[in-house]
Structure formats: C-alpha cells, structure tokens
Amino acid sequence: MDSSAESINYYGHKPAEQVEDREKKLKPTERADRARELYFSARSSTSMEFPYWYTRRWDELDGEIPVIRRAESLKAGFEHLTPVIYPGELLAMGKASYLRGSYPMPWLSEAFFMASEDKMYKEALESGKLTADIFTTVGKGGGNVTKSVGSVISIAGKFGLRVEEMPVMLEVAKKWKNRSVDDVGHKYEQMVPAYKEKEAIMRSVICMFDSGYTLPQGREVMNYYYPLQYGIDGIIRICEDAMNEVAGFPEMDRLYFYKAVITMLQGIRSWIRNYAEEASFLASIEKEEKQKAEYLDMASRLQHISSDPPRNFHDALQMLWIFHVAVLNEDAISGLSPGRVGQVLYPFWKRDVDRGLIDRETTIELLECMRIKFTEIDCFASMGVVGGVLSGNTFNNLAIGGLKKDGTSAANELEMLILETGISCETPQPTLSVLYDEKSPEEFLLKGIECTKAGAGYPAWVNNQVAMEFLLNNYGHEGMQLEEARAWAIGGCLESSPGSWMPLNLDGEIHWIPGGSAPATSVGVHFISLPKILETVIFDGMDMRTGERIFPSHGYTLETYEELWQGFKDYFSRAVYVLTLTNNIQHDAWRKISPSLVNSMLKPDCLEKGRDIGQLGARYNTTFNVESCGNTTLVNSLASLKKNVYDDKNFSLDVYRKAILENFGYHTAQETGSYSLIDQKPAGHYSEYRKIHRQSLDAPKFGNDDPYVDALFKQWEDWFCEMTHNYRSLYDQPMYACQISVSTHGPMGAVTLASPDGRLSGTTFSDGSVSAYPGTDKNGPYALFSSATCWNHSQSQNSQLNMKIHPSVVRGREGSRKFLELIRAYMRKGGFHVQFNIVDSRMLKQAQADPDKFRSLLVRVAGFTQYWVELGKQIQDEVIARTEYEEL
C-alpha cells in the first residue's frame, strides 16, 4: 500500500493492495461517445449576443409597462441567438452559441464580472457580496477557463470570453448600474434597520451569498405540460382568448401578463425556427447521406414544434429540452430539475413502441443524447456561487419512481432505460434520484442499485413518504391533498418540491403526468455557517479572523452549557431575521424588474390566474427557506464543549478560546495547502495544545449511535426546523428548514477558525447535513443511520447523508442485494436521503495527483455528481477524507 493510503479514513479493514475500479462498465453508443468526447474538449464559454439584444431592446422601451418590457427584451434575446448544431446531434439547441455556452445577465447583477479595478467591483467587495469569492477554490481542470490566455479572458475562474467581446460586456454592464436587481435591491435593503449587521454577516461568510439577484430561480421542478399538450401556437391562442376576457376589467395586470407571454413565445418560436433554418442549411452542404437525412429530420421536427404539439417521443423530448433551456435563458438559474421525465414522456414513448415506431436501441441513443445536452448546461455566476456553492454543477435532477396519482407505483420501462443510460453514458447531468417507496418494484430498485454501483454517484435514494409528509405539512394550508403530494419531485440537488398532475390528452386518452407547481423552493436565507455562528458566540459576537464585530455582545457569561446554547440560538435567530428581511427586498426587486415569464407560463396555475410566479400565480407559494451548513461540525463542537468544559470540567472556556485562536498548535489549512483535517501539520507549539486537542477529538461524535451527542443533534434539529416558521417570506408565508451543504462546507470552513470538536482552522466542515465528520463514524453504517434518524426528517425540506463505500463491498449480485437492504434499512428508519460514492479513495488520490488521466472520473459531492477535475481542491480533499466503508 502506498503511503497515501495511510491518510484515508477506513471503517472495517483496509482494502487489498491493488487500487480497485468500479464494477459495472457499459459503453455509450458511438454517437453519444463522440458527443461526450467533444464535450470533454470544450471549455466553458460565454458570449454577449443575448445580453446585448436584451439590453438594447430594454433601453428602447423606456416607459413601457415593466412586464411587457421584460417580454420584449427576452424576445429580442431569443430571436437573435446564433444557432449552433453539432455533427451527430439528435437533440438541438442550447443556451448560447457555444457547446458549453452561457452569458452574463447584467439585469440581475453586473458587478461581479467587472474588471477587479472597476469601481463597481470595489463597492461590491466592501458590502461583503464578494467575500466568499476570495475563499473559494475553483477546479483547475476539465472545461474551466481558469486563466486568461491569448485572445481569451477568464471570468470568475471558469468562463472564457473572447477579447473582442470584453469592451461590449463592460459597456452593457455599466448600462445596468443602479438598474439591476442587485443594485435596486441593495438600495432598498439598506433601509432595513439592521442592514449593517447584514454586511458584517456577509463579510464574515456566516452567510454565503444573497438570494434575490444571484440565482433567483431554480431548486424547483419544471412542468412541461402546456407545450406538450398545446404547442406554442396553442398557448398563444389560450393567452389571446384570455386577453379578450380580461381587457378593461379590474386586475389589469392579467392583461399585461398574457400579452407578455405571447411576446415571449414569439421570441422562442423564432429561436426554434432559426435552428430549423440552420439544420436545413447544414443538410444543404452535407455530403454524407445519413447525416444529411438527420439534419433534414431535425429541421422538419423543429419547424413542426415551433408551432404545434409533439407528434412522437422524439418530438416530445426535443420540446421538453427547448423549454428547459428557455427557462435557463431568462434568469441565472441552478437546480432547474426536469423532474419525472420518464413519467411525463411515457405516454408518447409507449404509443411509439406500440406502433412500432421506436425500439430499445433508438430510445437509448436518444436518452444518451439527452444526458449530453443536460451536461452542456453552464450557469454564469460569480466565483463564490459557481465554485463555492455549485462546484460548476447545475443540478438538473431527474426523478424516477415514486407513486402515481392513484397511489400505485409509478416506476415504468422508460425509467429502466433512463437508469440504463445513466450507466452506459456517465455524465454529471441529469443527476438521478430514486423516489424510494415500499411499493417500488424490486426489479426497478435493483436496477437503481446497478446504476449506483457503477460509481457515478447517482441515483441518490430519497424517501418518498417522508417527502410527502413534509409537503403536506408545508403546503396543506394552500390546499395540497395526499393525491397531489404524490406528484412531487426533487428540485435542484435535494429540495423537496411540490408538483401537480396534469391531464395529457393523447388520442382521446387522458394520462395524468406530474410536474412542478411552485416557483423556486430554495430561496430566502442561503447557507448559514453554523460553526461560524458558534465561533462568534464563544468570542461574544466577534469574528476573530478579521477582528470585526458581527453581532452585539450577547451578554452571557457562558458559565453553563444552557447559556452557550441560548447564545447560539440568539445569534442564529438574529442572522435569520436580518437575512430574511434583506433577501425579501432583493426578491421583491427581482419580481418587479425581472419577472419570470417562461417559467411562469409553464407553471400551473399562472396561465389560469393571469399572474406570474412572483405574483403568486403558481399553485404553491410557501417556498422560502433557511439553509444550514456544517450541522455535524456544530453538534460535535457543542458536544465537545459540553463534555470538556461543562460536564467533566477538563478545561475552562478561556483555555478553549486560546486553543482555538492558536489552532491547537497546528499550521492553518491555507498554510499546508490541504483542506482535510487528516493532512494538517503541527507547528512548533503543538505540544502546548496536544492534550486539549486530543480530548476534543475524543469527545463524543455524531454518527456512532451515541445518545450523548445524538441528543444534542435532535435538540438542534427540533429547534431549527421549528424556529424557521417564525419568519415570513416575501409572499407572507412561513419559511422552512433546508439542510444541504452543496459545496459551501469548503469555503465556509476556509474562513472558520479551529472548532471545539478538534477540527482545525480553514479545513472543511462536515458535508451534507447528517453525514458524520470524516473518520469519526467508527461503529459502522447502521450506527450512523441510528444517529442520522434521531430526529424526524419530515420536519425539514430535506436531510442529506453522503457515504463512501469501497467497490469490493457491493460486488456481484449478493453485493447488490446487501446494498439494497442497507438503503432500505435507512429508509425504513425514516431517513430522507442517502447517496454514495462507490470508489477506492486511493484512486481519488491518484486523480488529484494526475488529473489528466482522470478526465472522465465522476464523484458524488453533496446532492450532485461532478467531474473530479472540475472540483475545487477544498471539496476534493473533503471527498477523499470521508470515511470509506470496507464492510457493511
């Protein structure tokens, strides 16, 4: 065994000497393989076409009704996008005119992509908006453009922009100064009396980023019903009829909304037709007959669905993709989940199968092409958002399984093929989630196991009944009944999102298809760093890294554990209070300046009500949340203080304060260049702190079925889930708890001093929300499950458990059965979610040392799968350090 294996946390025995690869290997079709190779060669690229035309039209319409102005601007953007079709594609169209194309949306925020010497950038920095960017590491490999080279300028360490477009980007950005959602929201959020506290909270990275202008949409499930049922012309006719009914009557906003939807759809129709025209052009110059026929087929398909509903499965899949991209083009969005695609498209597919129009091979080829297209999606955002939160991922989560409207299992044959292509064509997008239900067929679940074992990190396993209970509790007052709760799916990486059943009429037969029925379900208070809050409690409101006061003195002597806990609750509540108010203002600016039109048109019941989603047009609107980060690091720290300071009185709190400031005698993570606890190096004065560090590490740790620490975990969860309901969203609805870390545990750990659990300064926090801290779960997976389910998960929008299992443990059919029983045990205990990395940790070490050899290696982080080489080092170190299970 090489020396690197010594720095890996194992549960059970150590693996055999040979580094072990994953078990299941299927190859993609030749077409998908070529497309994926092209993707691997492509860099994230940004362009100015859409924002130029959007801004130009916006400025032409000064004085127009805002929603009409917005629609006209979107229309101008769509109809001027240059079509790009790549050889071999069966599904056409994308966000911009590059394979991994994206573009700035200065109408949301313009400051972060300005040159660093620009005044706007400096102002943003002072307000704390960009602090997270500084402490974020972006992946150095793969498709990221990390440095400016030749004629290409790097933005946010990820996106490349041609130098000839840089001046216009700056000019267009400046046009939005004082007009963007960011600037307008900022102007008014300063009217919140506690605004200065908010700035301090952001500078200390207690909160990772604002909500209203960064990613105002996403973390929700798409609904494709209207275009699939009516086609674009059909929806336009619906709007025209509605306009005739509402023109001149009270609630005039309905008139403008319908007119805006028509305008926007005209833009999308032109966009599709431009692609049809390009496909025809490509056919005209193509010499190879098969490719020529495919271009002609594509042109015909696009021309048809630019007006009319889809005729078959291929049309329907293309239509679904177009509207998915169209929503992504109206806002900066992550976590726009396609939802239960296999159930939405099943009626089209089954009809084609019955008519002999499609076979298994053709379906697989199309589904693999779909995987490639979803993987091409990039989201243009700041480094702190795209690197520190998203790790370059866009979280298009495709859910399978669950229940039908009538309560029977919804799993179907098309979903089996979706799983199959998840194995054969490993890509980060769309990630897959099994909505596990006791009614799910064994064959379906075992197919899911086969896919998880393949090692790409999907599907995640999600508890259908726990989610439904949460949704009924949260949306019951808006009219949700059990039947409709069954229509849910995961939005984003792991956000339970409400849905509804829509009656798709095919040849006179009604098929009830599920789809999202709410706007973004994860906006509001984004990612509060729990360990950093505890740090400020210990230091009476100060951020000792910067020397800045964050909160007023709490006034407690902290002589009892109860005082410490109360101090934590006070500061946490204060942060939620301040951030709720400021984010409500940002979202209000968003809905006024940049209202959603594409997504609103798609979401029931906006078309029926004549209102967009910002005006409560959607069926369900209790959608703001409070997100936590570092749950387990917090609770382990509380347990250590309770044990060592208050119960056993081994050390005073002052001794702890000194040890924290001195990082227990170690160098910081920034100094060592590794963000994992196990790789840290002692400094000269280490021996002074050896005892307190040892006893901090030996204090009870979450994940071992230890009632001492699990009781504190339950206390935190019960309080957190309840207290969020005390805060009201912009839509005057109670908020709820959301517990995912995504990638925030990296940068948030980077700015946090050593914590009382023995974690060292700058190292990452625990991942997920109920994962054990790496290397501290010593009693096996079932003990971890007991700890994780010490509280009721349906109180929260989610919980997140990430595990790493060595491939040898689940090898073969017997391994699959054992693996399924493991997951089933967790689900039956009430666990909401579990996901796995099936990987030999030594392979990850090798990949870190030699990334070029591992371009296609995928790992699971926290609710998403990503190419290893596109992850920042903080997250890479953390994934390596996770406990690797060598036996179950």
Partner 1 sequence: MNTCTDCKFYLPVDVFKGICKLSKKEILPDDSICDKAEKVAKCKFCSQYTAEKDYLGNCMSTTLAYPDMNAAKCADFEWIRQN
Residue 56 found at the interface with partner 1 (CB under 8 A): yes
- How far is Cα 375 from Cα 813, in angstroms, rounded to an integer? 31
When binding is defined by CB under 8 A, the residue of 11, 32, 35, 44 that contacts partner 1 is 44
User: Would you say 28 or 101 has its CB closer to partner 1?
Assistant: 101
Least CB distance from residue 58 to partner 1, whole Å?
12
Residue among 560, 582, 567 nearest 533 (CA): 567
Q: Other C-beta atoms within 10 Å of 196: how many?
A: 11
Q: Six-digit token pair at 668?
A: 């910081």
Residue 167 found at the interface with partner 1 (CB under 8 A): yes
Q: Helix (H, G, I), strand (E, B), or coil: what is residue 230?
A: helix
Only one of the segments 35-43, 392-400, 450-458, 525-533 lies at the binding site for partner 1 (rule: CB under 8 A); that segment is 35-43
Query: What is the distance of C-alpha 33 from the center of its chain?
Result: 26
Please say if 6 is a catalytic residue: no
Residue 165 found at the interface with partner 1 (CB under 8 A): yes
Indicate which residue of 495, 627, 717, 878 is catalytic.
495
Least CB distance from residue 65 to partner 1, whole Å?
22
Q: Helix (H, G, I), strand (E, B), or coil: what is residue 262?
A: helix
Residues sharing a CB contact under 8 Å with residue 609, sequence separation 6 or more, in sequence order: 254, 616, 617
Least CB distance from residue 215 to partner 1, whole Å?
23
Please say if 493 is a catalytic residue: yes
Only one of the segments 95-103, 200-208, 326-334, 753-761 lies at the binding site for partner 1 (rule: CB under 8 A); that segment is 95-103
Indicate which residue of 369, 493, 606, 790 is catalytic.
493
When binding is defined by CB under 8 A, the residue of 166, 194, 678, 683 that contacts partner 1 is 166
Question: How many CA atoms lie within 13 Å of 132's alpha carbon, on the beta-carbon side?
Answer: 33
Only one of the segments 34-42, 301-309, 417-425, 519-527 lies at the binding site for partner 1 (rule: CB under 8 A); that segment is 34-42
Residues sharing a CB contact under 8 Å with residue 330, sequence separation 6 or more, in sequence order: 74, 217, 596, 597, 598, 599
Residues in contact with partner 1, counted by CB under 8 A, come to a total of 42
Among residue numbers 283 through 342, which ones bind partner 1 (CB under 8 A)? Answer: 285
Query: What is the distance of C-alpha 585 from the center of its chain?
Result: 23
Least CB distance from residue 87 to partner 1, whole Å?
6
Residue pair 307/232 in contact (Cβ under 8 Å)? The answer is: yes
- How far is Cα 90 from Cα 98, in angstroms, rounded to an integer? 17
Least CB distance from residue 167 to partner 1, whole Å?
4
Backbone angles phi, psi at 387, to 5 degrees: -95, -55
User: Would you say 153 or 460 has its CB closer to partner 1?
Assistant: 153
Residues sharing a CB contact under 8 Å with residue 510, sequence separation 6 or more, in sequence order: 503, 504
CA distances from 131 to 208, 210, 285, 383, 835 (A): 9, 12, 51, 10, 31
Burial of 725 by CB count in 10 Å (0-12 exposed, 13-18 middle, 19+ buried)? middle
Burial of 151 by CB count in 10 Å (0-12 exposed, 13-18 middle, 19+ buried)? exposed
Only one of the segments 43-51, 121-129, 637-645, 877-885 lies at the binding site for partner 1 (rule: CB under 8 A); that segment is 43-51
Residue 86 found at the interface with partner 1 (CB under 8 A): yes
User: Would you say 86 or 646 has its CB closer to partner 1?
Assistant: 86
Residues sharing a CB contact under 8 Å with residue 293, sequence separation 6 or more, in sequence order: none
Give me the 667-686 binding string for partner 1, x by CB under 8 A, dash otherwise.
Answer: --------------------
Among residue numbers 115 through 144, which ones bind partner 1 (CB under 8 A)? Answer: 143
Least CB distance from residue 294 to partner 1, whole Å?
14
Q: Cα torsion at 601, 603, 608, 612 (round to 10°)?
A: -60
Least CB distance from residue 459 to partner 1, whole Å?
30
User: Given the structure tokens 């691997």, which residue do they identify?
Assistant: 40
Least CB distance from residue 46 to partner 1, whole Å?
8
Residue 172 found at the interface with partner 1 (CB under 8 A): yes
- Write out the DSSP string of 45-112: EE-SHHHHHHHHHHHHTTTS-HHHHHHHHHHHHHHHPPP---TT-SS---SSSSTTEE---TTT--ST
Only one of the segments 80-88, 230-238, 420-428, 556-564 lies at the binding site for partner 1 (rule: CB under 8 A); that segment is 80-88
Q: Name 218's bridge partners.
A: 334
Least CB distance from residue 42 to partner 1, whole Å?
5
When binding is defined by CB under 8 A, the residue of 38, 61, 246, 711 that contacts partner 1 is 38
Only one of the segments 163-171, 235-243, 332-340, 353-361 lies at the binding site for partner 1 (rule: CB under 8 A); that segment is 163-171
Residue 623 found at the interface with partner 1 (CB under 8 A): no
User: Given the structure tokens 């999606």, which residue do they identify?
Assistant: 377
Only one of the segments 41-49, 478-486, 635-643, 673-681 lies at the binding site for partner 1 (rule: CB under 8 A); that segment is 41-49
Residue 43 found at the interface with partner 1 (CB under 8 A): yes
Among residue numbers 392 through 451, which ones bind partner 1 (CB under 8 A)? Answer: none
Residue 282 found at the interface with partner 1 (CB under 8 A): yes
When binding is defined by CB under 8 A, the residue of 67, 71, 81, 692 that contacts partner 1 is 81
Least CB distance from residue 516 to partner 1, whole Å?
32
User: Would you say 145 or 325 has its CB closer to partner 1?
Assistant: 145
Backbone angles phi, psi at 838, to 5 degrees: -100, 95
Residue 711 found at the interface with partner 1 (CB under 8 A): no
Per the document, the length of the chain is 888
Q: ∠ CA 249-252-256 to the nearest 5 degrees?
A: 130
Q: Give me the residues that bind partner 1 (CB under 8 A), please.
A: 38, 41-46, 48-49, 52, 56, 79-82, 84-87, 97-100, 143, 145, 151-152, 160-168, 171-172, 270, 274, 282, 285
- The residues assigned a catalytic role are 493, 495
